[in-house]
Amino acid sequence: MRNRKLKVESLAFSVSVLIFGLFAFCLTSGVLAAQMESNQFKIQMPNLNFSSGSPSSTNFKLGFTAGQTGPGVYTSTGFIVRAGFWYLKTIIPFSFSVSPTTIDFGTLTANNPVTQTITLTVSAGGAGGYEVTAQENKPLTSSASNTIPDTTCDASDCDEANAATWSQDTTYGFGYTMHGNDVPTPFPTAGPAGNLYKQFADRSLNEIPEAVMSSGQVGRSRSSTTTLKVNISGTQSAGTYQNIITFIATPRY
């Protein structure tokens, strides 16, 4: 079978950072904390803040909340407590980056897999940690509407939720593997995952975005490496193929 050349370029990553914070407060007659919850949310230990803001002048800028129960810095042997929302803000500001934001696989030939990597980096100071999800807008698609399908791995047993082995050069498609901080099981934290791959969740099929990093703890510069892989057959139509993958990082408070 004759190998056909295929140009795949400009696989662009749209970086969307969604910052969501929900705060609710309860006024009681004493120094008390209550738990409030609904079908979608649970808020533990709320308190009343009756004023907040970021006033400034020519030489000064102040961030404050008024009404915080027992704000301040408290220390003892081996411990330090910084009480108050503005301490949380100054210790580890929330940040998220994706590098690079455009991937070019170059010219592909049949049965010759090509890989490229991207790095996700998150800093999150919220008491509940953070989560990063990923979703593609559609499979790799050409201007003639031909597609490179998402991989199903060697035994047709991987999808957007489950990873499986993809090691054969006669298994075709597009997928990813990961390693690094806070990546989901079964991807490792210490080094590359070898031949374990998944699909990206597909928005065009109404698939729900999948978590690619998450932690319930605060963290600074938490980093992971995502390795993208594409492999085509000798019957793949020539053309320039593209899609967009959106990563959304959400802090938890």
pLDDT of residue 65: 63
- Average pLDDT on 76-93 reads 70
User: 223, exposed or middle or buried, with CB in 10 Å at 0-12, 13-18, 19+?
Assistant: middle
Report residue 57's pLDDT band, with 50, 70 and 90 as the boundaries: confident
Report residue 90's pLDDT band, with 50, 70 and 90 as the boundaries: low
Query: Which pLDDT tens digit goes with each residue over 221-239?
Result: 999 999 999 999 999 999 9
Residue with tokens 């594409």: 230
User: Which among 27-31, 43-47, 105-109 has the top mean pLDDT?
Assistant: 105-109
Q: Are strands 129-136 and 244-252 parallel, antiparallel or unpaired?
A: antiparallel
What is the SS3 assignment for 236? Answer: coil
pTM of full prediction above 0.85: no
pLDDT of residue 229: 97
Q: Are strands 244-252 and 11-17 parallel, antiparallel or unpaired?
A: parallel
CA 79, chain centre distance (Å): 32
Query: Which pLDDT tens digit goes with each residue over 132-171?
Result: 999 999 999 999 999 999 999 999 999 999 999 999 999 9
| Alpha carbon distance 3, 222 (integer Å) | 42
| Alpha carbon distance 253, 131 (integer Å) | 12
Residue with tokens 């919850």: 37
- Average pLDDT on 17-42 reads 49
Residue with tokens 């800093």: 123
